[in-house]
Amino acid sequence: MDAIECITTRRSIRKFKPEAVPQELLKKVITAAQKSPSYKNSQPWEAVIVSGKKKDDLTQILAGLLESDAKPEPDIPEPPVWPAAIAQRIDDTFKTKGGKMGIDLNDPVIKKKAKLANFRFYGAPHGIFVFQDRSLAEWSMFDAGLFCQNIMLAAWASGLGTVPQAFLIDYSPAIRNFLGIPATKKLVLGLSIGYPELDHPANSFITGRENTDAILRFVE
């Protein structure tokens, strides 16, 4: 698989096979992502992979917080508003996906079910949490994004599936406490990783992309 094929065929996976991924392969994926560029080669990222009973215990903690209607405390808050063009893309995606599933993705009950599925890692055998030091500036957040993207690409090239999950950072303090991560670290993103069940209906929806001419112009 060449780089262009890997980028264009990768998709978010929301149904995984239960088989665990060998630790050596998981390490290979992270090692490849370590090649990500960063400002002044600062490499401002750290990763924790949780599996087995520990992952199940974390699911119970997060699900319990959700069921008790605990207030989310993400280290990176959701944007309160979006620019109009971006808001339209989000709305179109929700309507298309919800229409295919026969549900309203903006319904609070549906959204709660979606969060619970996130906290269960969509059945994946492993979860990855990416952290960085709180003292770092915006450039480092950009760098962490590059690291996360390369985790997803390296996984896909290795026959694995992933899904980046903003909901997985909803209860950042609880996750840090469970994983023994100091409060000086910021939880950037959670990802599920495992062997994808590609034929499952949950993996049939592929989000569209804006026409390139709408986001690109040449100046000569």
pLDDT single digits (tens) 114-132: 999 999 999 999 999 999 9
Instruction: Outline where 102-171 has alpha helix (H).
Output: 108-119, 138-157
Q: What's the confidence (pLDDT) of residue 107?
A: 85
Q: What's the confidence (pLDDT) of residue 1?
A: 87
Point out the least confidently predicted range of 13-22, 32-41, 83-92, 140-149. Answer: 83-92
Tell whether the model's pLDDT for residue 100 goes beyond 80.
no
Euclidean distance between CA atoms 214 and 38, whole angstroms: 28
Q: What's the confidence (pLDDT) of residue 77?
A: 92
CB 93, CB 44: distance < 8 Å: no
Domain assignment of residue 36, yes or no = yes
CB 33, CB 150: distance < 8 Å: yes
Euclidean distance between CA atoms 84 and 105, whole angstroms: 19
Domain assignment of residue 211, yes or no = no
Q: What's the confidence (pLDDT) of residue 190?
A: 98
Domain assignment of residue 88, yes or no = no
Counting the structural domains of the chain, the total is 1
Domain assignment of residue 86, yes or no = no
Q: Which residue has the tokens 């929301």?
A: 14
- Domain residues for the domain of 31 are 3-77+119-205
Euclidean distance between CA atoms 34 and 90, whole angstroms: 31
pLDDT in tens, 27-65: 999 999 999 999 999 999 999 999 999 999 999 999 999
Euclidean distance between CA atoms 200 and 123, whole angstroms: 12
Is the pTM for the entire model greater than 0.85?
Answer: yes
Q: Which residues contact 131 (CB under 8 A, 6 or more apart)?
A: 45, 46, 47, 48, 181, 185, 186, 187, 188
What are 174's two structure tokens?
A: 């609880």
Q: What's the confidence (pLDDT) of residue 52?
A: 98
Domain assignment of residue 197, yes or no = yes
CATH of the domain at 150: 3.40.109.10
What are 180's two structure tokens?
A: 């023994």
